[in-house]
Amino acid sequence: MRKKLLVAAIALAGSLGSIGAASAQDVLGGDQGAACEAILCLSSGSRPSECSPSLSRYFGIKKKKLSDTLKARLNFLQLCPVSNQTPQMGDLVRAISRGAGRCDARSLNVTLRDWYGDREDRQFYIRNQIPEYCNRYTRHEYTDLDDTTARYVGVPERGGHWVEPQEYDTALAAYNERIRREDEARERERRGGMFNLGSSK
């Protein structure tokens, strides 16, 4: 995966004259340089401090409608001269514009929230199927995001939820402990109910 990310960096470097996100603005300047930096920075889970200006510029693009925001962000990334140089680069830019900032655990726990039950007894759950736009972004051949991809803990019907990968083991242990306690409480209630039925005869 890192080799494929390097290919993307080299593709950008071919136009910029050097490799690395930090050099993009020096070569191109303005929004073109910021766009190229953003592409590189958003293609990797490891983002040095040099990424901050371009990422602030990218995530600062916000419109009233989500669809307009995604379109405006795509337009910004396409300012980079090599954004459409190859089909793979064009696909990468589109994947970034749709997925970056929308595939972390916090975002997924909001966007994948759903409801079941009638109006009097509605309960929510969080779906465990990651959106296709996240798959296209995090699994793109030019991205290196495997170590930063959110993971799902548990099952939807028992309070499952998304967590950041570094929190997975701790979250899974806490989830399993909660399920154990809930199951024990239900078993006690079941046995208590059976006892009450037997004593009423």
The pLDDT tens digits for 126-150 are 999 999 999 999 999 999 898 889 9
High-pLDDT (> 70) share of the chain, %: 80
Across the chain, what does the average pLDDT equal? 84
For the chain, the structural domain boundaries read 32-100, 103-191
| Residue 128 CB burial class (10 angstroms; 0-12, 13-18, ≥19) | middle
Confidence at residue 5, expressed as pLDDT on a 0 to 100 scale: 43
The secondary structure of residue 123, as a DSSP letter, is E
pTM check: above 0.85? no
pLDDT at 29 over 90: no
pLDDT at 65 over 60: yes
The SS3 assignment for 193 reads helix
Confidence at residue 9, expressed as pLDDT on a 0 to 100 scale: 53
Query: What is the C-alpha separation between 168 and 154, in angstroms, rounded?
Result: 11
pLDDT at 193 over 80: no
Q: Choose between 80 and 11: higher pLDDT.
A: 80
